[in-house]
Structure 1
Amino acid sequence: MQSYLDFEKPVAELEGKIAELKSLAQTDDAVSISDEVLRLQQRADDALKDIYRKLTPWQKTQVARHPQRPHFSDYCKAMVTEWTPLAGDRKFAEDPAIQAGFGRIDGRPVAILGQEKGNDTESRLKHNFGMARPEGYRKAVRLMEMADRFGLPVVSFVDTAGAYPGIGAEERGQAEAIARSTEKCLELGVPNIALVIGEGGSGGAIAIATANRVLMLEHAIYSVISPEPGAAILFRDAGRAQDMAAAQKITAQDLLSMGIIDAIIEEPIGGAHRKPDVVIAEAKKQIVDFVDNFGDGYGPLEIREHRREKFLAMGTALT
C-alpha cells in the first residue's frame, strides 16, 4: 500500500478516488470506469510531476526518509550475486546497522558496505535505524583492509541519519572509530565508490563515503548534521528544521554545484520508492561503469592521490 507524505495530499486524494472506482467496478460489471480512471490518473500524474518539480530541501529530506524507500538490503538483493556477509569487528560485537561482505555485481567481484535502516518495526530495531555503533565502523575497516589485500573495489551504500550517539557507543570510542574508518577510506589502494541512497548524515556517513567517486540519488540528502538537531543547536528551536535544511545546502543539486559529489542518479517522478527497480538498475549501471573504467592503468599510489586531490579541492572554487 502506497504511503503518502504530507505535501503529496493532492495526489493521495486522486489516487484514492481511482482505487474506489476500481473497487466499484469489481463489484458491478455494468459500471464502466475506464475513461474516468484514465482522466483521474492523468491528473494524478500531472500533480505528482508538479509537486516533485519544485521540492524544497525540507521536502527532499522527507522523501529521503520515506519508509518505503529502497534500502541497502533491497539493492543488495537485486544486484549482488554470491553474497558472502562478514560479521563482527573482532573486538567487541556484531553491529547490524552496517552490513559488510563480498559478492559480485554483474560478474565483477567487489567488497560491499551498506547502512541498513530496516523495513518494519522489528528490522528497524534490529538494525538500530541504520545508526552504527563503533563496532560497525570497525567492521567496515576490517572489510576495507581485506579488500585492499585482495585488490577488490569497495562499494558503499550510505543511508543513515548519523552515527549512534548513545553513552555505550561513546564509551567504546565512537569518534575514534569513525575517524579510523574515514582514514581507511583515504588509505585504500583500490578504487572505491559511494552512493548516498537516502540520508547521508554527519560523520556516520562520511566514514564509509570518503571515496574516489561519490554519487547521490536525486532526492537524497547529505549533510554535516540532520536538520532537526542542527536547528536545535543554531536556532535553539528544533521546530525550525525547515529553515535549517534550506541553509545547509543538503540536496544533491546543491552539493553537485559545489563539487562535493560527482554525479546525481535520477529518480522516477514521485521518488525511488515508486519504482525501486528503475533506480536500482541505474545504480548498478553506474557501479559497473566505475569498476570497469576508473583509473585505467592506475596503481595504488595514483588511486590514493586521486582521492586525496578530490577532497582537498572541495570548497576551493567557493573561496
Structure 2
Amino acid sequence: MKILVTGGAGYIGSHTVLLLLTNGFEVVVLDNLMNASIESIRRVEHLTGKKVSFIKGDIQDKTALTSLFNEHAIDAVIHFAALKAVGESSTIPLEYYQNNVHGTLCLLEVMANLNINHFIFSSSATVYGGENAVPYEESMPLGEASSPYGASKVMIERVLKDLAQSNLDFRAVCLRYFNPIGAHESGQIGEDPKGIPNNLLPYVAQVAVGKRERLQVFGDDYSTEDGTCERDYLHVMDLAEGHVAAVNWLQKNSEFTGVEAFNLGTGKAVSVLSIIKAFEQASQQKVPYTIAPRRHGDLPAFWANAEKANKQLGWRATRDLTQMMTDTWRWQSNNPEGYPK
C-alpha cells in the first residue's frame, strides 16, 4: 500500500513516516519545507533503512499534485500540511485560511478528479471549542473555535463531511489530537521549529540547552490547580502509532464510508508549571521562567476521552510524561541547533 504524506518532513509527519515505513508501507512525502527540513527525511531513511519518495511542493499547486498522483499509484493520503500555531493564527488569519483551508480543498479536488478516496486528516482538539465540557468526546458537536487555526480545522472537518455525503466512495478519518511532545527514542528526529517556538516544550528545551534565556508562562491566574493552563500532552510516537492504526482500520473496514473522528490523547491534563518541573528533573537543567499576560485564544484546560480510539482502532497512549521529557531532552541536547541548516 502506497501512502502520500503531506507535510511529511515536519515534526509529526516525520515520526509517522518512520512508523509507516517500519510497518511495511510505501511512502511518498510532499512538503514545501516552509516549517520543516529535508534532513528529517534523510534521518528517517537512515533509521529505517528504507527509501522515501520526496517531492518538494505545495498542496495549493494543483498541477503539481496531479503530476504526483499520476506518477505514483497512491492508495491513501495522510494530510498534515498546515500552519499550526494558535497564537500566530490570530495575527495572520488570512494566511492560515489560505494555507490550511484552501490548500486542503486543492488536495481534495485533485483526489476527487483521480478517484482517490481514502483520507486521514490531521485535525485537532481545538475543534471542540470552549463551550464543550471536558473531557472532550467525539460525539460532541463541533464548537466555536477560539482561534483561526482551530476554525480552519473545524471548516475542513465540515468539508470532509459534506464531501462524504456527496461521494459514497469517500472514506475519511479525522484524528483529533491534543498536545504532541517528545521525540523518537534515537534522538535523531524531533521538533525543530523555525525561529521562536510557538509551542511550550520546544521553548522549554531551548532554554534548557542555552539557546534561549528564559521561558514566558502565559498566565498564572486560570481556574486550574496551579493557575497555569492544563493540556493533554502525548508522546509523538504514540501519536504516530495512532495514524498507522487509522490506516489499518480503513483497510480492515472496507465497507465503511463517510467520516469517522477519533481523539488521540492520554486522558490526563498537565499544567505548564508541571511540564517545567518534569523537564528539569529529566534533563537536570534549570529552566528559568517569568509570568506573562494570558495569550489570546488559549483555553484554561482540556483533555481527551480516548476510549473510542482504544476500542475501535486498538490504540492507546502508552508512553508516560517522564519518557516524553527524556526523549525531548535527548533530541535537543544531541541537536542544540535543531537540524543542520
Which structure would you say has the larger RCO, counting Cα contacts within 8 Å and 6 or more residues apart? Answer: 2
Q: Of the two, which has the highest radius of gyration?
A: 1
Scaled by the length of structure 1, what TM-score is found?
0.33
Scaled by the length of structure 2, what TM-score is found?
0.31
Greater helix fraction, Structure 1 or Structure 2? 1
